[in-house]
Chains A and B, each alone.
Chain A
């Protein structure tokens, strides 16, 4: 049985951010930090993604909570963030730190796969592949996960895929 200790989440999060920053700086990785409500995102350049992931895994961030991708068609980019936390390192357990990269919105966007670093990313990378069409180089088994291949071709979570809603009043005269 685990008795609930009183834990201050913001101090744990601060500690986790320090730990992540130190891990990345010691490997000479350039990054920028963006603050969100309840988490921090560390954005790196594409060439540092795998090295950064390895450094964070060594620092204790042992699994991926969410692979979060947002589409910004105006800025012609995707923002792809691996939200991480730790199970085994009690000091930082539960604190959410994101490791992110900006992917240009080209014909065939691609990023290196981090499945070799975090096994827990495997299914989520497949999900992002089908919903956004972002390819993960080096993924062991890149197939659609939830969708059928013809639906996955539509890249449904991109902003330019608009959900067509049926107009129930279509063809109904306004009066009489």
Chain B
């Protein structure tokens, strides 16, 4: 390696601005800080040590957007954490709060009616598509493919509007409730959903032409950032990243929840384990989510409307609330839910969010607040991959690997 005097002292560039150089550490190693003002997804820092342009050590430094979800979960009662927790991944709001709701349902011993289950699964799949498209958009930026960024962000709007028509909110829907869902579908929803599905199918073909089969993208992704099946299991990688490494694991199958046992869908699994496989898994998952949306909408259209909260809870509804449910299909929260008590016990709820398995451990001491809420999101479990997958790659591969892992700092930092 050529010794460069500039690396020790800093120097002035052509405009006369002082440039802060990379630090030299040890013999022939450079320490480069990437982030926390990240050019792509958000706030995290990776400290990489380079020998030439080969990464020999990577240290992910996360926590820049830590928002004390676990501590706040202990002081806000049982219902208020739902709108709190969805802040972790606002474009994946239904998925990320689902495990909490499932855990509280297990503790309370309530079960939503089938119609509410279908509604929740429907929104989960709309969210999943939104989350994957968001990931593609960021990935496009990382690879310098700004068309993909514009396209994916634009197409995500279709599914955000679909979610808005269903829930009334574009992103933070606060849709699932322990024992039910908040709103039934509006009358024009099935047509809207079918149009969105057809539109996305058409667009995926165009994505293939401009992005997935683009020779530049291919050469940057193929064989890059390979995670073997054994390594994926050892590191506990989750979600599409694990499924790209040949691990056939999906919470919707290992512990089916909501309407998933009734729905017909496949879980795409790839064996290559490289950045391209991780991308392709997400494309295939979008196709499966579109299938699920079609089935759910058809079921909801065919079957008669019914109250979308648990029978026991519905029995406690005052007449006004019942009237709103019958006329508008809308579940209003009961005043007593502010001081709701949940039976003593420990429960684990989990769901397959857009980025993988998210798990909530909820402990109740019988009081008005959860005694302990432990949250492990998918991105939190994928963070360890940076440390063990990056070494050995060139620094130019870092954006490709980062983007393909679909790491989302707010979700990871909690």
Tell me the A residues contacting B by CB distance below 8 Å: 1-7, 9, 12, 36-39, 41, 62-66, 68-71, 83, 87-88, 93-94, 96, 118-120, 122-124, 131, 144-147, 156-157, 161, 163
Contacts and interface: CB of A to CB of B under 8 A. Distances in A.
Contact of B374 (A2, A12, A68): A68
Contacts of B384: 119-120, 122-123
A147 B63 contact: yes
B68 A156 contact: yes
A2 B235 contact: no
A62 B247 CA distance: 12
B246 to A, nearest CB: 10
15 contacts: A2-B266, A4-B252, A6-B261, A36-B345, A36-B347, A37-B347, A38-B255, A38-B349, A71-B372, A83-B361, A87-B233, A118-B236, A119-B236, A122-B384, A156-B71
A157 B374 CA distance: 10
| Main DSSP-derived SS at the B contact region | mixed
A44 B303 CA distance: 51
B144 to A, nearest CB: 30
Residue in A41, A64, A123, A156 whose Cβ sees the most chain B Cβ within 10 Å: A123
Interface string B161-199: 000000000000000000000000000000000000000
Interface of B: 62-63, 66, 68, 70-72, 75, 103, 106-107, 229-230, 232-236, 242, 247-256, 260-261, 264-269, 284, 345-349, 357, 359, 361, 363, 371-372, 374, 376, 380-381, 383-384, 388, 413-414
Contacts of A12: 254
B233 A88 contact: yes
Given A87-B247, A163-B71, A38 B62 contact: no
- Main secondary structure, interface of A, reads mixed
Nearest to B372: A70
A66 B253 contact: no
Contacts of A70: 363, 371-372
B266 A37 contact: no
A75 B106 CA distance: 26
A157 B252 CA distance: 31
A4 B232 CA distance: 22
B376 A123 contact: no
Contacts of B345: 36-37
A126 to B, nearest CB: 10
A51 to B, nearest CB: 20
A35 to B, nearest CB: 9
B376 A66 contact: yes
| A-B complex: 9 closest residue pairs judged by Cβ atoms | A94-B254, A120-B236, A146-B63, A63-B236, A37-B347, A36-B346, A37-B106, A2-B267, A87-B233
A119 B236 CA distance: 8
Contacts of A88: 229-230, 233, 247
Given A66-B361, A70-B372, A163-B71, A2 B233 contact: no
A66 B360 CA distance: 9
Contacts of A145: 62-63
Contacts of B256: 4, 7, 9
Contact of B266 (A3, A39, A123, A157): A3
Contacts of A38: 103, 106, 255, 347-349
B234 A63 contact: yes
B253 A147 contact: no
Contacts of B71: 156-157, 161, 163
Contacts of B413: 146
Contact of B70 (A3, A122, A157): A157
